[in-house]
Chain A
Amino acid sequence: MSEIQLKPIWRWQWTLIAGIFLLIVCAVAITIGPVQIKTIEIIHTLLGRETTLSDQERSLLIEIRFPRVALAALVGAALATSGAVYQTVFRNPLADPYLLGAAAGAGLGATIAITVARADFYPSLPIFAFIGGILAVIATFLVAGRLYSDPGSLLLSGIAIGSFATAVQTFLQQRNSEVLRPVYSWILGELTVAEWSSVRWAALYIFIALGILFSVSKILDALMLSDEEAFSLGVSPNRIRIIAVCAATLATATAVSVSGLIGFVGIVVPHIVKRLTKKATNRALLAIALFGAAFLVLADLGARTLITPAEIPIGVITAFIGAPFFLFILRTRSKNL
């Protein structure tokens, strides 16, 4: 068999590069801020060794910088991966947690939880957000009907459903002015108040969702074919589609519950990674998750350092990058990769 010179289909070098890139970005993000902390001190703190940091600096590092970077990385990984999965499942390069209405639906679900059910903010919030998100995706899918793989149709129905969900959310906020402030600050993004407790439960849901998505990522190849072809290759396409959409929506809903509405990550990162790796998105899912994490850590770094001492909402940063990129994708999608 030595004459067979075929390159392996699943390659890991981009995943490795993404992992190293994420580590570097995290190190930089932890270092930079109003109080500069040397990288070596960060490493010593992480390893539990003696450092020259004051108690205040140590507390800043452990209680503020670490959880904030960790949360940004988790949210970035969740949004990028779910975007890539939606794009594969709907065979649509413009599918994205936000454009599908999933994020707005999740926002509505969480708002209902806060205003009507008076739920505690944390652990139960992603459950409500998930229910809202999954209902919104189903509605978008149904409105688009048989044209769901046509980018324009899916996009328009996603926008309609998303706008409706946002309208209901705004109405609920107005009717419940006593919780307006917490809801509003949550919508703008909560990375500013990241705590270890929120990191822990977000990590739980996001790891479950991403674990499911990584485990089915190779079978997602079948969803890039027609249903007849998938079926002839031994796959029940609808079963895989449901599993993938539910897991991607759980990841999105958790990201929304913890960080509010941060757009475009799910479309920018998968497309960049696809161009780098020349691979279908489901074949580079881990690299997409790692690059997504790095992207949002960088965006958050920009959000808190560009106009110090003030902060720019992180969603504004991602939109500044994402909106022109989205238009670029729209212009070039006919050229494939």
Chain B
Amino acid sequence: MIKVENLSVSYGNKTVLDSISLEIPTGTWTSIIGPNGAGKTTLLTSLLGMNPYSGSIKFGEIEAFRDLKRNIAYVPQRPQVPLGMTVREYVTLGRAKRDGWGRERREGKARVYETLEAMQLIGLQDQQVTRISGGELQRVLIARAIVQEPQIILMDEPTSALDLHHQIATLNQIELLKKEGITVLSTMHDITLGAMYAERIILMREGIVLLDGNSSSVIHSEELKSAFDHGISVHTLEDGHTVIVANKMRIEEI
């Protein structure tokens, strides 16, 4: 379990996260939603230990982000794609924490191979990572996270650069990870997709948590609408799925 208590992060005079407390149970998928500037990405990078913070972040009983970081893999929204690196080399970087930089241990090699196979990337392994498509890159990033054998995966907008087909394929892949017992924490702009896959949703606005609960209760809450200044509407389809759409007229008013 990840336990966050009174987490505050400031950049200069600006408070980006304000006394956030939450608990993320092991083996769950939690989606963080909220308008731009809510502090979603900062919350993720704070868990990585990137930002100086006050408060406490505990993984199990252990404080200190160093131990947390060892067990966390991170899938960025906008990765820096390096020149001169093949897909396999790029995925192998994920082994650095376990095997050392530039080292290829037998076990690590096997893990990379298995993962490339599982993510249907074997055919691309010798391709330059700069030359693959957006959907392929997303799979490669997830593969790089998997080879780290993490207990927690943090994903920043894992579907933002993908078409609908690849969004679903990627989310299905993440769901498999969750079934293996990995705790998934993702930020999602697409609330419909977030609610469809994650069992828990954390709703944030302006650095605070407005609501934290199961997906169904959060997306049907008034807090969700008010977080987006009532610029969204929630519709339940005949098959029971819920769809959240932007309310054009209201947004124009805002």
Contacts and interface: CB of A to CB of B under 8 A. Distances in A.
Nearest to B83: A336
B96 A228 contact: no
A233 B76 contact: no
A91 interface: yes
A279 B84 contact: yes
Given A9-B104, A229-B79, A222 B96 contact: yes
Given A6-B113, A222-B101, A234-B70, A91 B80 contact: yes
Contacts of B93: 221-222, 225, 233
Interface string A6-30: 1111100000000000000000000
Contacts of B89: 9
Interface residues of B, number: 39
B178 to A, nearest CB: 19
Contacts of B78: 226
B82 A225 contact: yes
B106 interface: yes
A224 B96 contact: no
Among B93, B97, B125, B154, residue most surrounded by chain A Cβ atoms (within 10 Å): B93
Interface stretch (B23-31, B42-50, B179-187, B195-203): B42-50
Contacts of B112: 6
Contacts of A222: 93, 96, 101
Main secondary structure, interface of A, reads: loop
17 contacts: A4-B113, A6-B88, A6-B109, A10-B102, A91-B80, A218-B103, A225-B82, A226-B76, A226-B80, A229-B79, A229-B80, A232-B48, A233-B97, A274-B84, A280-B82, A336-B130, A337-B84
Interface of B: 45, 48-50, 69-70, 72-74, 76, 78-80, 82-85, 88-89, 92-94, 96-97, 101-104, 106, 109-110, 112-113, 125-126, 128, 130-131, 154
User: What 3 A-B pairs are tightest by C-beta distance, nearest first?
Assistant: A218-B102, A232-B74, A280-B84
Interface of A: 1, 4, 6-10, 91, 93, 217-219, 221-222, 224-229, 231-235, 274, 278-281, 283, 336-337
